[in-house]
A and B are shown apart, each in its own frame.
Chain A
Amino acid sequence: MTHYLLSVHSVEGEVREPMTDEEMARSHEQLAVLEQELKSAGAWVASGRLHDPATATVVRMADGEVLTTDGPFVESKEHLGGFYIIQAEDLDAALGWASKVTGAIKVPIEVRPFAGFEA
């Protein structure tokens, strides 16, 4: 089994067809079903949704001192909106789960293997 990070990327300021309340509700429902499916298949490891990047804080070492600054680490239009960590037999299986996620929330999903989890 290999562990994969499915990251949900949002593009800041991108004009999307706003979801109606009904669509939003359906999307949430699909995600809940999907999460249940992941769990019963034994594929689910962790998942989470993040607040927008403006809420981020960066901590770094500068001249031997810890420096705390406001804002995301990388200023970019694309940012991580949420993630799943799953375990899957191979990339095809992981891509299968990713297709279901993107089908539910309609934004691109990046699938990336974790290093050192192969077993």
Chain B
Amino acid sequence: MGDGNAAIRLDEGEVGRIFREESGRSLAALIGVFGDIDLAEDAVQEAFAVALGRWPRDGVPPNPGGWITTTDRNHAIDRLRREARGRELLSEVAVLLPRRDDPGKPPEVGPVQDDRLRLIFTCCHPALSTQARMALTLRLLRGLSTKQVASSFLVTETTMARRLVRARHKIKAARIPYRVPEAHELPDRLRPVLTVVYLVYNAGLTGSAKPDLCAEAIRLARILAALMPDEPEVAGLLALLLLSEARRASRTRPDGSLVLLGEQDRTQWDRALIEEGQAILRRCLRRNQPAAY
């Protein structure tokens, strides 16, 4: 830490922030192509290292998401070429891979279905423990580091690393599928996903954890709402989180004690969030299908 160069530190922070925002989609796409979470994660890490070296100097590419996807895909391919088993795998997936193109060039428009939806259903598969589901979702969908996930759940980094390794191992060994459940399975499978998002939000409310889990939960809910626009439960959860978030700042006094709803300073409430939440609720009400959230 110390008194390093503030400008560079800021840049690295900024690179990290942009990268994290965009990398979930790339990671999900990569897992879709190679069917291997470890390989995909390593490749995204390598792309991050490249970005750290290049972006502060050359500036952020016009389409950071496309840049990351291209760069990490190339890293994954390079790595597979070096391994015998990998070359086999590569010949299987070759048909699925577009030409190796110039990083920085905007990528072709992705498949109709965003891979992040498949990824979240894998991370929140009922065969995994709730703790593992939360940790995996934050790690893979939101790009938090193992250390950050560990500190969010108040466990040591080693414990969290072990938990993540075990979950990834189970996904691979037991072949937890990487796909969006079919319509008839959806009610059973969507519930654990929504629960994970809700629990992440609550974990953010109770702790002063860094990173801000409330914000992470809302981003997850937004991703889900964008990917599943016709699911009233998803919309309901997003609305609930937005309306809670609008009041979050006024929920506690500076000393951390709780302020009851009637005593809260309403001028502190976030009008924009309230309006967004209420607009979603009105749309849900028109559909007239009340459900849990």
Cβ A115 vs Cβ B173 within 8 A: yes
Q: Is B176 an interface residue (CB 8 A)?
A: yes
Across the two chains, which residue of chain B brings its CB closest to A4? Answer: B174
- For A112, the chain B residues whose CB sits under 8 A away are 174
Q: Is B226 an interface residue (CB 8 A)?
A: no
Asked if A113 contacts B177 (CB within 8 A), the reply is: no
With beta carbons under 8 angstroms apart, the residue of A92, A94, A113 that contacts B173 is A113
Contact B127 A90 (CB under 8 A): no
Interface centre among A2, A90, A91, A118 (most CB of B within 10 A): A91
List A contacts of B181 (CB < 8 A). 92
Min CB distance, B288 to chain A, in Å? Answer: 32
A90 — which chain B residues lie within 8 A by C-beta?
A: 175-177
Give CA–CA (A91, B177) in the complex, Å: 7
Q: Write out the residue numbers on chain A whose beta carbons fall within 8 Å of the beta carbon of B127.
A: 91, 95
With a CB–CB cut-off of 8 A, which chain B residues contact A113?
173-175
CB distance from B180 to the nearest CB of A (A): 12
Contacts of A91 in B (CB 8 A): 125, 127, 174-177
- A1-27 Cβ-contact flags toward B at 8 Å (1 or 0): 010100000000000000000000000
A41 to B185, CA, bound (A): 20
The complex places the Cα of A91 from the Cα of B176 at a distance, in Å, of: 5
> How far apart are B7's CB and chain A's nearest CB, in angstroms?
49
Binary flags per residue of A32-65, CB closer than 8 Å to B gives 1, else 0: 0000000000000000000000000000000000
> Nearest chain-A residue to B181 (Cβ)?
A92
Q: Which of B183-197 contact A (CB under 8 A)?
A: 185
* A4 surroundings in chain B (CB, below 8 A): 174
Chain B residue at minimum C-beta to C-beta distance from A2:
B175
CA separation between A113 and B127, bound complex, in Å? 13
Shortest Cβ distance from residue A1 to the other chain B in the assembled complex, whole angstroms: 9
Q: Please name all residues of chain B whose beta carbon is closer than 8 Å to the beta carbon of A111 when the two chains form the complex.
A: 174
**For residue B125, which residues in chain A have a CB less than 8 angstroms away from its CB?**
91
Hey, which chain B residues are within 8 Å of A95, CB to CB?
127
Closest Cβ of chain A: how far from B151's Cβ, in Å? 31
Query: In the assembled complex, how far is the CB of residue A90 from the closest CB belonging to chain B, in whole angstroms?
Result: 4
A115 to B172 CA separation, bound complex (whole angstroms): 11
Give chain A residues whose Cβ lies under 8 Å from the Cβ of B185. Answer: 92
Please, which residue of chain B has its CB at the minimum distance from the CB of A93? B177
In angstroms, Cα B181 to Cα A92, docked, is: 10
In whole angstroms, what is the CA distance A95 to B125 when docked? 12
A115 to chain B, nearest CB (A): 7
Chain A residues contacting B174 (CB-CB under 8 Å) are: 2, 4, 91, 94, 111-113
Report the minimum CB–CB distance from B232 to chain A (whole Å). Answer: 24
Q: Smallest distance from the beta carbon of A2 to chain B beta carbons, Å?
A: 5
Q: When chains A and B are docked, how far (Å) is the Cα of A67 from the Cα of B174?
A: 36
Q: For the complex, what is the distance from the CA of A115 to the CA of B127, rounded to whole Å?
A: 18
With both chains docked as a complex, state the minimum distance between the C-beta of B243 and any C-beta of chain A, in angstroms. Answer: 35
B-binding residues in A (CB < 8 A): 2, 4, 89-92, 94-95, 111-113, 115, 118
Q: Which 6 A-B pairs have the closest CB atoms?
A: A90-B177, A90-B175, A113-B174, A2-B175, A91-B174, A91-B176
> 8 A–B contact pairs at CB < 8 A?
A89-B175, A91-B176, A92-B176, A92-B177, A92-B185, A113-B173, A113-B174, A118-B175
Other CB < 8 Å A-B pairs besides A92-B177, A111-B174, A113-B173, 9 of them?
A89-B177, A90-B175, A91-B125, A91-B127, A91-B177, A92-B176, A92-B185, A94-B174, A112-B174
